[in-house]
Amino acid sequence: MRRRGRARPAIRAIFGAALLGGPLLLPGPISSQSGAVAGPRETASPFSPSYDVKWAMNVPVPMRDGVRLATDLYLPDAEGRFPVVLVRTPYGSETAGFAEQGRFYATRGYVFAVQDTRGKYDSEGEWYGQRSERDDTDDTITWVGTQAWSSGDVGMVGASYGGLVQLMVAPAGNPHLKALIPEVTPVTLGRTPEAWRRLAVYGRGSSAPSELSWLVTTDGRVNQNGSAYDWTELFRHLPLAELPARMGREIPIWEKLIRNDIGLWEEYLESAARDQWTEPITDWPDHRELYRAVEVPILQRTGWFDASTDHAFHNREQVLRHSESELARTQQHLLIGPWPHAYSGSPTIGSLDFGEASVLDLRAVHLRWFDRWLKGVDNGVDREAPLRLFVMGRNEWREAWEWPLPETEFVPFYLHSGGGANTNRGDGVLAREPPGDEPPDRYRYDPGDPTLAITGGENAEMAGDGPVDVGWLEARDDVLTYTTEPLEQEVEITGPVSATLFVASSAPETEFIVRLVDVHPDGSAYPVWYSYANAFGTRGIDPVGRTAEGHRIWRLEFDLPPTSQAFLPGHRIRVQITSAAFPLFRHLNTDGDPAWETEWRVAEQTVFHDGERASRVVLPVRAESPPKRDDMTRKDDQ
Tens of pLDDT, residue by residue over 551-576, are: 999 999 888 889 999 999 999 999 99
Percent of the chain scoring above 70 in pLDDT: 83
Distances (CA, A) of 207 to 192, 210, 225, 536: 21, 6, 22, 11
Spatial contact of 259 and 158, defined as CB atoms under 8 Å apart: no
DSSP 149: T
Q: pLDDT tier at 506 (50, 70, 90 boundaries)?
A: very high
Dihedral sign, Cα of residue 508, residue 509, residue 510, residue 514: positive
CA distance 210 to 258: 11
Tens of pLDDT, residue by residue over 309-366, are: 989 999 999 999 999 999 999 999 999 999 998 898 999 999 999 999 999 999 999 9
Q: Same fold for the domain at 49-154 and the one at 286-400?
A: yes
CATH number belonging to domain 408-622: 2.60.120.260
Task: List alpha helices for 175-252, DSSP H.
Answer: 193-198, 212-217, 231-236, 243-246
The overall average pLDDT reported for the chain is: 85
Tens of pLDDT, residue by residue over 191-217, are: 776 676 666 555 444 455 567 888 888
Check if CATH label 3.40.190.10 holds for domain 286-400.
no
- The residues spanned by each domain of the chain are 49-154, 193-267, 286-400, 408-622
Q: What angle do CA 176, 178, 184 make, to 5 degrees?
A: 120
CA distance 238 to 594: 10
3-state secondary structure of 237: coil
Residue 440: what pLDDT?
98
φ/ψ of 522, rounded to 5, equals -85, 5
Amino acid letter, residue 329: R
Percent of the chain scoring above 90 in pLDDT: 64
Residue 21: what pLDDT?
30
Name which residue leads in pLDDT, 276 or 163. 163
Strand 480-483 relative to strand 616-622: parallel, antiparallel, unpaired?
A: unpaired
Distances (CA, A) of 123 to 68, 160, 268: 6, 20, 21
CA distance 285 to 243: 31
Contacts of 77 (CB under 8 A, 6+ apart): 51, 52, 53, 54
Share in percent of the chain as helix, strand, coil (round to 5)? 25, 30, 50
Amino acid letter, residue 353: D
pTM of the model: 0.89
CA distance 84 to 109: 9
Has residue 19 got a pLDDT over 70? no
CATH number belonging to domain 49-154: 3.40.50.1820
Distances (CA, A) of 387 to 7, 273, 330, 455: 32, 33, 12, 29
Has residue 146 got a pLDDT over 50? yes
CA distance 291 to 288: 5
CA distance 106 to 93: 16
Tens of pLDDT, residue by residue over 375-430, are: 999 999 999 999 999 999 999 999 999 999 999 999 999 999 999 999 999 999 99
Spatial contact of 533 and 206, defined as CB atoms under 8 Å apart: yes
Residue 435: what pLDDT?
98
CA distance 165 to 18: 16
Amino acid letter, residue 385: A
Residue 279: what pLDDT?
74
Name which residue leads in pLDDT, 353 or 253. 353
Residue 228: what pLDDT?
84
